[in-house]
């Protein structure tokens, strides 16, 4: 009895240790970036949590919003058209597991022109994209991108959901959260007020009361109701567009997220069983040994 | 133990042949039969966990190096290519990135165990010092590795940390240029950081061998902290295998569950979002912070108003660990029998975590928002800066003042004569043992 009690006690201590280690990591995690921005609203995304998966319809709508609106200024340099047809992607077709043969991907790629060279003369040409091509950049180079946008190049969106605190919820909140600037806030030229943007409005605030939350963003409100046509009957509102494109960017930022979580469940179940067996071995080996 | 006699008997002809030429099988067998104090608790399992961490980091790192491109224009995209297009690349990279954090969780607990149970005291000083060398190399390796993805935090972290070298009077500037391979952080810096990041883990592995060698000579400490006399060895120790292989194995699996939780379900939670923004030398992030495991030392660095003073304090906070065996004047190893020291130790734990918290904050931020405060020298009293200074003071005082003085003044509790005394139940109770 004594041994049994002692074993469960030491095991509990180990668990406490692990929880404490986890706590330590949480406490020591870097603080959120400074700035009095609003906390992002929840987009109610299907891919959140350990069981979450992407909603393929939402990813397709999100790609459409990206292609018709965002891609005019924002590149996605890490994305290839083939990615759209890979397992878990917006246009994955189980009948065409090889994305190069996926008819949706081929058609979507062909809608976009990419720069290339003529293989015989070496002259610069434009041709239809294929699934193997990268998404083309909207600007020939970073200087042109900056020059066309008031001095700051629009950021690449490939890993945007990982590059901002709040991820997809932040992107959704920012895109759908533009507000008229409160009276008393001096708007800098070429800038727009957004309560979800990080920043400090103190130097620009002349009104009464507390300094408003948020910051300045060079991007004008990009979305308008009815701007992108949805074929599946989904509401064509700014809120819905913002949710869909945020989901699409979240997928593009981490296209292996669903694989990862599924593998994780297998690994956790295996480790749990392995731990149980090892614990039983431990009990058996130490049986009758005082310690 | 040094007086541990080899029990290995070569059976086959090949084994006999090898044993007289290179007794490597004997070496392994002797290690497996090493007499180990039977009262070791789960805090002693972190050594095995750390060995596994090193193996995981080296194995995943070798695969990552096959796909990584150490070039300022290609590094970020090559890491993302590993995440997207390399088969299983996301797993290898997330295991490596989170593995660094797991390594540090384990090493901090391992060091705190040594601190609490007095594992650094005679005759184990060399085990401790070699451990400190490993810890210092781990910090260097982790820093170099964090630069490689060439994100914003990689670049600006490298900028801040290499700049510290420039704070050294006279030689600082030329050494800084020599280290960076130029006047600023650029491609030569990334190339040499990659080279050194690949080299140092093997240096760590070498020092680990010395660490284990020293352990084999001096023998393991134990929670009671007393040396096991030769005549008690049979009673107080058990062979390492199978008793401690199975116990370490169980602890390792529990640790792997924590590891897997991070890798599969929150792989980016220990990193900084800014490192998914490609490095940009023209845009300073609003808040440059190192990885969580460096935050206490980063806090100490910022606590000192003078830059070079800060550098000295930061290196001193690790350097002081090397002379710990001679700072502790107590003859008693385990803090179980040192109630006064135990209280100081618990405060030290709080201060350590507190320094980590401070390292992640802006120095000017108030500790208690809205509390009235006044300016003391160069900052508000109610600011992270002054809290950091208080914690830093305790950190150094703990080693340099408290340890020597408490050891001389305290009255320790009575120490058992042997380690089996407190664990073997009284005779009357022995019959009921299940």
**Domain limits, chain A:** 42-178+224-285
CA distance B353 to chain A (A): 7
pTM for this model (two decimals) = 0.91
**Is residue B83 less than 8 Å (CB to CB) from chain A?**
yes
CATH 1.10.287.980 residue ranges of chain B are 289-419
Q: Which member of A158, A268, A285 has the closest CB to residue B243?
A: A285
Q: Which member of A2, A254, A259 has the closest CB to residue B425?
A: A2
Residue A125, helix vs strand vs coil: strand
Residue ranges of A 146-205 with Cβ closer than 8 A to chain B = 155-156, 158-159, 162-165, 198
The complex's ipTM works out to 0.91
Residue of B nearest to A159 (CA): B276
Residue A250: per-residue pLDDT:
98
Computed on alpha carbons and rounded to an integer, the radius of gyration of chain B in Å comes to 24
Q: Do A279 and B250 touch (CB under 8 A)?
A: yes
Residues of A in Cβ contact (< 8 Å) with B356 = 24, 27-28
- Which CATH number does the domain B289-419 belong to among 1.10.287.980, 3.40.640.10, 2.30.110.10, 3.40.190.10? 1.10.287.980
**Helix or strand run (H / E) with residue B405:** helix B403-409
**Is residue A31 less than 8 Å (CB to CB) from chain B?**
yes
**Is residue B182 less than 8 Å (CB to CB) from chain A?**
no
CA B232 vs. chain centroid, Å, equals: 33
Q: Which member of A264, A282, A291 has the closest CB to residue B38?
A: A291
Burial group, residue A140, by CB count within 10 angstroms (0-12, 13-18, 19+): exposed
Residue A25: per-residue pLDDT:
45
**Is residue B427 less than 8 Å (CB to CB) from chain A?**
no
Predicted confidence (pLDDT) per residue in B88-112, tens digit:
999 999 999 999 999 999 999 999 9
Q: How confident is the model at residue B425 (pLDDT cuts 50, 70, 90)?
A: low
- Which CATH number does the domain B39-288 belong to among 1.20.810.10, 3.30.2350.10, 3.40.50.970, 1.10.287.40? 1.20.810.10
Contact indicator for B182, B188 with CB cutoff of 8 Å: yes
Predicted confidence (pLDDT) per residue in A12-69, tens digit:
554 555 555 455 444 444 333 334 789 999 999 999 999 999 999 999 999 999 999 9
DSSP calls for A38-102: PPPPP---TT-STT----HHHHHHHHHHHHHTGGGT---TT-BGGGGGSTTSTT--TT--SGGG-
Mutate to test the interface with B, among A10, A16, A23, A29 (most CBs of B within 10 A): A29
**Is residue B431 less than 8 Å (CB to CB) from chain A?**
no
Q: How confident is the model at residue B162 (pLDDT cuts 50, 70, 90)?
A: very high
The fold of A42-178+224-285 is Cytochrome Bc1 Complex; Chain D, domain 2 (1.10.760)
CATH 1.20.810.10 residue ranges of chain B are 39-288
Q: What is the mean pLDDT of chain B?
A: 93
Q: Is the pLDDT of residue B419 over 90?
A: no
Residue A1: per-residue pLDDT:
37
Residue of A nearest to B87 (CA): A256
Predicted confidence (pLDDT) per residue in B120-135, tens digit:
999 999 999 999 999 9
Helix locations, chain A, DSSP H: 2-28, 56-68, 103-110, 142-147, 160-163, 167-176, 238-253, 257-285
Burial group, residue B233, by CB count within 10 angstroms (0-12, 13-18, 19+): middle
Question: Which residue is associated with the tokens 């009104």?
Answer: A207
Question: Which residue is associated with the tokens 């008693």?
Answer: B332
**Is residue B101 less than 8 Å (CB to CB) from chain A?**
yes
Residue A27: per-residue pLDDT:
44
């Amino acid at each position: 009895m004594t041994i049994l009690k002692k074993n469960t006690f030491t095991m509990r201590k180990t668990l406490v240790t692990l929880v404490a280690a986890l706590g330590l990591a949480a406490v020591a995690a870097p603080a959120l970036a400074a700035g009095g921005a609003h906390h992002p609203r929840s987009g109610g995304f299907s891919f959140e949590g350990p069981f979450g998966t992407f909603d393929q319809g939402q990813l397709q709508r999100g790609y459409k919003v990206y292609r018709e609106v965002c891609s005019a200024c924002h590149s996605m340099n890490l994305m290839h058209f083939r990615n759209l047809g890979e397992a878990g992607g917006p246009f994955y077709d189980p009948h065409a597991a090889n994305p190069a043969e996926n008819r949706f991907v081929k058609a979507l790629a062909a809608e976009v022109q990419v720069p290339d060279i003529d293989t015989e003369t070496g002259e610069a040409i434009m041709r239809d994209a294929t699934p193997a091509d990268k998404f083309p950049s909207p600007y020939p180079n970073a200087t042109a991108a900056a020059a066309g946008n008031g001095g700051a190049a629009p950021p690449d969106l490939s890993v945007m959901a990982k590059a901002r605190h709040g991820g997809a919820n932040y992107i959704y909140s920012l895109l759908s959260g533009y507000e008229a600037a409160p009276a008393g806030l001096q708007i800098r030229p070429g800038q727009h007020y957004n309560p979800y943007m990080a920043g400090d409005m103190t130097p620009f605030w002349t009104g009464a009361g507390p300094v408003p939350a948020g910051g300045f963003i060079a991007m004008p409100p990009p979305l308008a109701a009815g701007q992108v046509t949805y074929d599946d009957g989904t509401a064509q509102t700014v809120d819905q567009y913002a949710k869909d494109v945020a989901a699409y960017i979240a997928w593009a930022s981490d296209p292996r997220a669903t694989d990862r979580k599924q593998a994780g469940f297998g690994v956790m179940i295996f480790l749990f069983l392995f731990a149980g067996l090892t614990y039983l071995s431990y009990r058996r080996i130490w049986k009758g040994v005082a310690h | 133990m040094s007086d541990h006699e080899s029990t290995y008997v070569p059976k086959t002809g090949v084994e006999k042949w090898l044993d007289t030429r290179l007794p490597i099988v004997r070496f392994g067998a002797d290690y497996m039969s090493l007499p180990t104090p039977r009262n070791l608790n789960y805090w002693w399992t972190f050594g095995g966990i750390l060995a596994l961490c090193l193996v995981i980091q080296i194995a995943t790192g070798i695969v990552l190096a096959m796909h990584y491109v150490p070039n300022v224009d290609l590094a970020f995209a090559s890491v993302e290519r590993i995440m997207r297009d390399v088969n299983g690349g996301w797993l290898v990279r997330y295991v490596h990135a989170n593995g660094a954090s797991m390594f540090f969780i384990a090493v901090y607990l391992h060091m705190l165990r040594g601190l609490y149970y007095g594992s650094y005291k005679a005759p184990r000083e060399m085990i401790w010092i070699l451990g400190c060398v490993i810890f210092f190399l781990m910090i260097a390796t982790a820093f170099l590795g964090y630069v490689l993805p060439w994100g914003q935090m990689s670049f600006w972290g490298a900028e801040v940390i290499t700049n510290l070298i420039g704070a050294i009077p006279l030689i600082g500037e030329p050494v800084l240029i020599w280290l960076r391979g130029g006047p600023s952080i650029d491609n030569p810096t990334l190339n040499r950081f990659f080279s050194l990041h690949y080299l140092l883990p093997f240096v760590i592995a070498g020092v680990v061998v010395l660490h284990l060698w020293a352990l084999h000579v001096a023998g393991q400490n134990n929670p009671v902290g007393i040396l096991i006399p030769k005549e008690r060895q049979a009673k107080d120790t058990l062979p390492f295998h199978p008793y401690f292989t199975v116990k370490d194995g169980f602890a390792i699996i529990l640790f792997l569950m924590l590891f897997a939780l991070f890798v599969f379900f929150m792989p980016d939670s220990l990193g900084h979002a800014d490192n998914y923004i490609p490095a940009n030398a023209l845009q300073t992030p609003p808040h440059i912070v190192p990885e969580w495991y460096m935050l206490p030392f980063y806090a100490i660095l910022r606590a000192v108003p003078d830059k070079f003073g800060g550098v000295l304090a930061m290196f001193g906070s690790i350097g002081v660990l090397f002379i710990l065996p001679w700072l502790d004047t107590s003859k008693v190893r385990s803090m179980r029998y040192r109630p006064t020291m135990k209280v100081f130790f618990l405060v030290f734990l709080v201060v350590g975590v507190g320094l980590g918290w401070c390292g992640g904050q802006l120095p000017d931020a108030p500790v208690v928002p809205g509390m009235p405060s006044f300016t003391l020298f160069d900052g508000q009293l109610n600011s992270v800066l002054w809290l950091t200074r208080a914690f830093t003071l305790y950190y150094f005082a703990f080693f340099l003042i408290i340890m020597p003085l408490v050891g001389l003044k305290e009255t320790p509790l009575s120490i058992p004569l042997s380690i089996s005394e407190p664990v073997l139940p009284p005779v009357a109770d022995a019959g009921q043992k299940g």
